[in-house]
Each structure stands twice: as structure tokens, then as C-alpha cells.
Amino acid sequence: MGFYVGSFLIPYYGFFIALGVCMAALCGYVQVKLFHLDVNDFTIIASLVGLGGVVGAKLLYLIVSWRQIDVSRLLEWEYLNSIMVGGFVFYGGLMGGLLSLLLCARIGKLPVLRYVHVCMPCIPIVHGFGRIGCSLVGCCYEGPLAQVYENSLFAPNHVPLFPVQRTEALANLMIAAILLFYIDTRRTRKKNSLCIYLLLYTPVRFALEYFRNDSRGAFGGFSTSQWISLGLFFAAILYWLSSRARERKTGRDS
Amino acid sequence: MGVASLVLGIISIVLSLFGGTWVSALIGIVGIVLGALAKKANPENSGMATAGMVCSIIGTVLSLLVFIACVACAASVGALS
């Protein structure tokens, strides 16, 4: 589950999420400086997106796994605490983060799109590092293939399993690299990083869901994450097409 | 806002080190936002805000490091409780 520093137990997942957040913050800071944006605005937006992301990820987790939650024990501090520190759904976090962005733009009057287009690789960086933590613990395993756990609380031990979390971690870090290349080679031109991220990540997640042993809700032959992947994929295509049409129209008008 | 950020940052660090939970991460994030707002509002005199931001960042990262366990599977709620 983790490693000890003195008498402190550091869980692998917490360690890798914290490492991912630090790496993403560093990447965002470099991008903001590179594109001459305001570091304070970036800090405010990133923090609020993080807060929205955590709340969204937890809410979707509670929705999809409500059957496993004993409502009568919610007033017990230890039980409530165990629910709050463990169990997040990535897509809930993504949607919570997007909602936070919308609130930053509407209420805080911040130019969020400029920051989104430049700092989008931060999301797959945090996600990729988090998946390495999941892989070390044995969350959402599936087989059969190469990964063998010896002492996991969640995955079956001594059985060869498909390394689904490592695959997703690698895919996320590759998406981050592609996005960085796309953004930094289009210094002055219009960028559409959010669409590209969704178009790259959602098919990967849709395919990997077949290899995950994730019991958190399924209907119509697809898991919750596969339905959300489909919805986000088509939403990104529609957004892309509409922004292209808008660009052409403004080009003709001018 | 700079003072509020510093206070929240210190509370976040203390909670994350001495038995605090996810609450310390939330307090830390609010501290970071307040610190950045204070720095933006008064860039010339931002010592307190910078200190608040640093404390809040340390508190948030410590909270993430120590308390978030990977329990993504529904069955794990039972395992934890």
C-alpha cells in the first residue's frame, strides 16, 4: 500500500498524486511564463479547478457506488473519513474542473480559455502519475497478462494480470507530450488544446475499460466511464466543428 | 486576504501533520486562492500573501501525500471501513 518515512506511512497513491500535482504545477508555471500570462491568475484558476475536480470526482464516485455506502454510518467520523479520502472517479473530476472553469470565467471574470489552451497538459500529467500509484496498489486490475501482485489488498495476488493502470499512465504522459508539442509549436496561432485532449484521451479510456475490473456501475453494455467517454468524444467533435465554422465565418466577414 | 491565507496555510500544515484529514487539503486550496488574490491586488506589498501561499501549498501537498489512499474500486470502501 505504501512506504514508511520514519514512522509515517506514505501511501503510494498519495505520493504519486502529490508528485503529479508538483510536476503539473511546474509545467503550468513554465507554460504561463513562456506565453507571458499572469502567474497569479494561473494559480487562482489551477487551485479552483483542483478544488472543483476533487469535489466532482468524489460526487461521481458516491453516485456510482451508492449501493456500497452504508448511509446509517455516515455520522461516524471514521467511516465518513474513509469514504472521503478514498474513491474518486476521474471523469467526475474532469467535469467538476470544467464547471469550476465556467464559474471562474463568469463570476471571477478571468480569461480562462487563454490559460486552458496553454496549460492543458497539466491534466494528463497529474492523471498519469496518479495511475502509476493505482498500478502499485492494484486498483481496478484485469487479466490475463504480465502484472503479478504479491501483497495487494484489492487485486488477486500471484495471478498474471494485464497492467491496465500502467498502460493508462503511459497513454496520459504521451498525451501530455503531444499537447506540449502542439501548444509550443503554435505560439501565435489559435489553439484548441481542450478538444485535442478529449479526442485523444476518451478513445484510450473507452478501450481500456474492457481491461479494468471496475464494478462501479454499468448499463446498456457499457460502463459509466465508457458512456461518459462517448459523450465527451462527440461533444469535442461538435465543439471543434462549430469553432471551425465560426473561424471561417469571421474570416469571410473580415 | 494575505493574513487569511497565512492563517489557513498554517492550519492546513498543522492538520495534515497531526491527524487532520481531507479537510486540511480543502483549507490549503482556499489558502492558495486567497494568497494569489492578495498578491494580485497588491503586488508591491505581497510578503504576507507569499508566505500564506507557500504555507498553503505545503499544507495541501502534505495532505495529498499522507491521506489520499487509492481506493478507486467500490469494494474497497468495505475494505477500509
DSSP states along B9-75: HHHHHHHHHTT--HHHHHHHHHHHHHHHHHHHH-STT-HHHHHHHHHHHHHHHHHHHHH-B---STH
Q: What pLDDT shows up at residue A204?
A: 93
Q: What pLDDT shows up at residue B75?
A: 39
Question: Searching chain B, which residue's CA lies closest to the CA of residue A21?
Answer: B61
Q: What pLDDT shows up at residue A202?
A: 94
Residue B63 Ramachandran class (φ > 0 left, ψ -120 to 50 alpha, else beta): alpha
Q: How far, in Å, CA of A30 to CA of A196, rounded?
A: 21
Mean pLDDT for chain B overall:
79
**Residues of chain B contacting residue A78, judged by C-beta atoms under 8 Å apart:** 81
Mean pLDDT by 10 residues, chain A (254 residues): 75 85 93 90 91 88 79 78 75 90 88 89 91 76 56 61 83 93 78 89 90 70 87 92 82 67
β-strand partners of B3:
none
Burial class (CB in 10 A: 0-12, 13-18, 19+), A187: exposed
Q: Is the pLDDT of residue B72 over 50?
A: no
B41 pLDDT band, cuts 50/70/90, is: confident
A144 sits in which H/E element: strand A142-148
Q: What pLDDT shows up at residue B79?
A: 40
Cβ distance A68 to B39 less than 8 Å, yes or no, reads no
Find, among A139, A145, A137, the residue nearest to A162 by Cα.
A145
Q: What pLDDT shows up at residue A200?
A: 94
Q: What is the largest CA-CA distance in chain B?
A: 53
**Chain A contact present for B42, CB below 8 A:** no
| The one-letter amino acid at A125 | I
For A238, residues 6+ apart whose C-beta sits below 8 A from its C-beta are: none
Q: What pLDDT shows up at residue A84?
A: 75
Q: Which of A13, A18, A50 sits opposite B69 (nearest CB)?
A: A13
What is the rounded (10 degree) CA torsion for A185, A190, A170, A93?
150
- Which of the two residues, B23 and A152, has the higher pLDDT score? B23
Cis peptide before A144 (omega within 30 of 0): yes
B77 pLDDT band, cuts 50/70/90, is: very low
Cβ distance B22 to A18 less than 8 Å, yes or no, reads no
Q: How far, in Å, CA of B55 to CA of B59, rounded?
A: 6
Q: Which of B70, B71, B76 to mutate to test the interface with A (most CBs of A within 10 A)?
A: B70
Q: What pLDDT shows up at residue B70?
A: 45
Query: Structural domain boundaries of chain A?
Result: 2-253
- Which of the two residues, A193 and B22, has the higher pLDDT score? A193
Q: How far, in Å, CA of A243 to CA of A179, rounded?
A: 19
**Chain A contact present for B29, CB below 8 A:** yes
Residue showing cell 501549498: B57
Q: How far, in Å, CA of A211 to CA of A209, rounded?
A: 5
Question: Searching chain A, which residue's CA lies closest to the CA of residue B39?
Answer: A40
Cβ distance A153 to B75 less than 8 Å, yes or no, reads no
Cβ distance B68 to A14 less than 8 Å, yes or no, reads yes
Query: Structural domain boundaries of chain B?
Result: 2-80
